[in-house]
Structure 1
Amino acid sequence: MALTRWQWFIRLLTRRMWFRAALVSAFGGALALAGALVGHSISYQFAATIGAKSVDGILTILASSMLAVTTFSLTAMVSAYSGATSTITPRAVQLLIDDSTAQNTLATFLGSFLFAIVGIIALSTGLYGETGRVILLVGTIAVILFIVVTLLRWIEHIARFGRVSDTIDRVERAAMAAVDTIAVPLALGTEHTQPDARGMTPVMPRSMARVTHVDVAVLGRLAQAIGADIHVLALPGKLVEPERPIALVAASCDDTAVDKVRQAFTLSHHRTFDHDPRFGLVVLSEIASRALSPAVNDPGTAIAVIEASARVMLRLADHRTSEGTPLPARVHVPPIRLAELFDDWCRPIARDGAAIVEVSIRLQKALAALARHAEPVRPLIKQEAFDAAERSKAAMTSERDRVLVEETYQSHFAEMD
């Protein structure tokens, strides 16, 4: 939430697939026309010596090949999106769409195609002259080298793009980044005292949607201008509705001030990973739940998710003891409750993997590692481990498996009493 509203808008804009493609395409067109502007500085003899007339055939080959490669790349990307939607989880597809390598590759191929088309059209009109072709030839060579480097990166990248392990890593990195950007306290328990709304002005959203960003800097300036505290009630990821306030202003405010506070909250129909570590844990648990379904039956993926989620929770535990980004004066935000984060992560895996001994044991070991690392959260973690062990013992048909789960729980958590 440290980003301002405009910074958040620019970040979202630069992630759009068309943005980089349009930017590189414009650069390619400008590069193709550059020869007409600076070609007069090249002598005719030098142009004839380096064979600049050969650029016509090179551009024709480049235009036809780049169109085919662009189409192939789009097909590969769409296949990866469809595969992730059907076999992993639809919530992770946005991370694949935002992939910078895929977007840069598509932008490079499309920009190279436009460069070649503009160059061919300009050559057919005689815009370059004999000397301007030298600039176009140099630009063509530079574009070809850039295409080769991009192709090599794309070949390496597409081999794992959209695979289960790659998607898990992306969700983990997104959750880690969200943990590093949050500037709110973390609460150990489930209880949270709401501010007394008496005498305060409620700020209502205009529609039912998800909060994706809160501009606390704007709220800080508004609080100073109004001369009253502002209590944020809806953090990123929360579903809001017109009948419930998203913020309270500790003073009487007119409609203009209320509208300014409302504008500090960015709403969307879908949750995003930014500033919302809880959503990252939800998506990770969804991946594990699908892997544990009878139709898939992939305990290895569930174990990989457990380990990735444990690393995110470790980062959260460390964040709780760090100073973080200070909030503006007179702006109050509710804490993120760690108990809810553990429920989002542990409960689906403990439920869907209760009958699989390997998954149950790995979950116990991951919780034990967290308990040893974060002593203040140890009672909460122990309760989650106990609940997971009880689910496993109730679901397993083998007595030996039940004994293994119980022994794992006792060996790791008995010493923590």
Structure 2
Amino acid sequence: MLSQRWRWNLQRLTKRLWARATLFCLLGIITALIANVLSPYISYRLSKGLGADAVESILTILASSMLTVTVFSLSTMVSAASAAANGATPRATRLLLEDSTAQSALSTFLGGFLFSLVGIIALNSNYYGDGGRSVMFLVTLAVIGMIVVTLVQWIDYLARLGRVGETIDLVEKTASTIMRQYVEDPDLGGTRLVSIPSDALPVTTNSIGYLLHVDAGQLSAISDELDADIFLATRPGTYCSPVRPLAHVLPRGQDFDEQEATRKILKAFSIGDDRSFDQDPRFGLVVLCEIGCRALSPAINDSGTAIDVIGTLIRVLSPLAGIDREDREVKHPRLFVPRISLEDFFEDAFLPLARDGASRVEVGLRLQKAAAALASMGRPELTTAAEGFAASALDRSLRALEFQEDRDRLEREAFRSETH
């Protein structure tokens, strides 16, 4: 059985454009070559009546057209990624390039090109008999049908690709998925960390970068092997350095080798140069917030997009109202994991928007409504965090707004909980 880390690495690999394209290319080549294997099942009369003689002409047309479509589609994706980086945020381009619709379209076109190319080579080398040519003819028709369906879907997708609204929806989909996963299992299957014992030994790394993934299952196995409790000091998304411990370990047995324990524990942590959405619910909030801040910049001056982002952030944060469930199964009792504070969530989602939109009354009003919406979800801690943010955002806006009526309106509609 694969460990969490291997599954995570495999998942990252499958998101790469070349991985899916390679798979489709191999399928295209295998499909072209396997047609001759099926030729004995085609009768002579049927092989003469299927129009198999036209297969080479069809494959020639298919090869030339698929190469053109593939190059055009790839250039369109590059342009869309550039537009998303300039109009939204560079952090969103990865999601565009990892989108399954785009990858499937490009892979289908490239696979169709290689299928037709290998088919032409096989035909001209007399690889197929009459039955094989008939099978190739039928398979070619099926491939054309698949390409037509993919092309229609691709045209609809191209009409939206790279637009700011589409980019926001794409980031929201990913951020919401990761947030729901966090709410479902905020402790990574371990025990919620309250505090780290003072006599626990720190585990540090020489690597510098963002923590991308923590293999909780591997850490649990290590804790049993070492007869020690492991206390995480960081979560995925944290910027790591040699001066910041990744974890602390508290040995319970007598024979404990600190150096060997550190070596084993560090294998469960994956550190990289760029932050990842996986296991990091805060990163999706950061990316959405960046899109809103870009819209508020003097060069764009688009309050409407910023307001749209605020509404999106409310939807992404809303699952936090149900995080206090007590029926979760503790799979790793010797692994203690810190939770993300609600204040950190609010800071990632709204603080830059409150700063950049302080002089815009429409943005200030929407931030107050966002705080009220999240506070109304019935969780006291969420209400407290929302009230603290609302007060801070109100103070920023009152200092930045010049028109007295705007200040008066904002103060009237500011969110204040009923307990204050």
Please classify the TM superposition score into its range, dividing by the shorter chain length.
over 0.9
| Rounded Cα–Cα distance in structure 2 between residues aligned with 1:160 and 1:66 | 22
Q: CA deviation at 1:327?
A: 4.6
Q: Residue deviations 1:277-299, cap 9 Å, x none?
A: 11111111111111001110000
Q: Is the 8 A contact 2:211 2:275 kept in 1?
A: yes
Q: Which SS does the other structure have where 2:234 is aligned? A: coil
Map 1:179-258 → 2, pairs under 5 A: 179-182=179-182, 183-184=185-186, 194-198=195-199, 200-251=200-251, 252-258=256-262
| Residue in 2 that maps onto 1:400 | 405
Given residue 261 of structure 1, which amino acid in structure 2 is its aligned partner? I
Q: Is the 8 A contact 2:383 2:417 kept in 1?
A: no
Q: CA deviation at 1:254?
A: 4.5
Q: Which SS does the other structure have where 1:206 is aligned? A: coil
Q: Which SS does the other structure have where 1:381 is aligned? A: helix
| Rounded Cα–Cα distance in structure 1 between residues aligned with 2:304 and 2:207 | 42
Q: Is the 8 A contact 2:70 2:109 kept in 1?
A: yes
Which of the numbers 345, 349, 374 marks the counterpart of 1:345? 349
| Rounded Cα–Cα distance in structure 2 between residues aligned with 1:54 and 1:285 | 56
Structure 2 residue 313 is the aligned partner of structure 1 residue 305: no
| Rounded Cα–Cα distance in structure 1 between residues aligned with 2:230 and 2:417 | 45
Which of the numbers 345, 356, 359 marks the counterpart of 2:360? 356
Structure 2 residue 77 is the aligned partner of structure 1 residue 81: no
Q: Is the 8 A contact 2:321 2:379 kept in 1?
A: no
| Rounded Cα–Cα distance in structure 2 between residues aligned with 1:274 and 1:306 | 22
| Residue in 2 that maps onto 1:189 | none
Give me the CA root mean square deviation: 1.8
Given residue 41 of structure 1, which amino acid in structure 2 is its aligned partner? Y
Q: CA deviation at 1:314?
A: 1.0
| Rounded Cα–Cα distance in structure 2 between residues aligned with 1:19 and 1:400 | 58
| Rounded Cα–Cα distance in structure 2 between residues aligned with 1:291 and 1:331 | 42
Q: Is the 8 A contact 2:66 2:109 kept in 1?
A: yes
Q: TM-score, normalised by structure 1?
A: 0.94
Q: Is the 8 A contact 1:284 1:345 kept in 2?
A: yes
Q: TM-score, normalised by structure 2?
A: 0.93
Q: CA deviation at 1:184?
A: 2.7
Given residue 34 of structure 1, which amino acid in structure 2 is its aligned partner? I
Map 1:100-249 → 2, pairs under 5 A: 100-182=100-182, 183-184=185-186, 194-198=195-199, 200-249=200-249
Q: CA deviation at 1:407?
A: 1.0
Given residue 332 of structure 2, which amino acid in structure 1 is its aligned partner? P
Q: Which runs of 5+ in 2 are unaligned?
A: none
Q: Residue deviations 1:222-252, cap 9 Å, x none?
A: 1111111011112100011123321111123
| Rounded Cα–Cα distance in structure 1 between residues aligned with 2:152 and 2:395 | 51
Q: CA deviation at 1:37?
A: 1.6
More displaced stretch, 169-178 vs 269-278: 169-178
Q: CA deviation at 1:335?
A: 1.7
Q: Which SS does the other structure have where 2:36 is aligned? A: helix
| Residue in 2 that maps onto 1:388 | 393
Q: CA deviation at 1:413?
A: 2.1
Percent sequence identity over matched residues? 44
Given residue 385 of structure 2, which amino acid in structure 1 is its aligned partner? L
Q: CA deviation at 1:323?
A: 4.5
Q: Residue deviations 1:40-65, cap 9 Å, x none?
A: 33232221111111101000000000
Q: Is the 8 A contact 2:3 2:218 kept in 1?
A: no
Given residue 409 of structure 2, which amino acid in structure 1 is its aligned partner? L
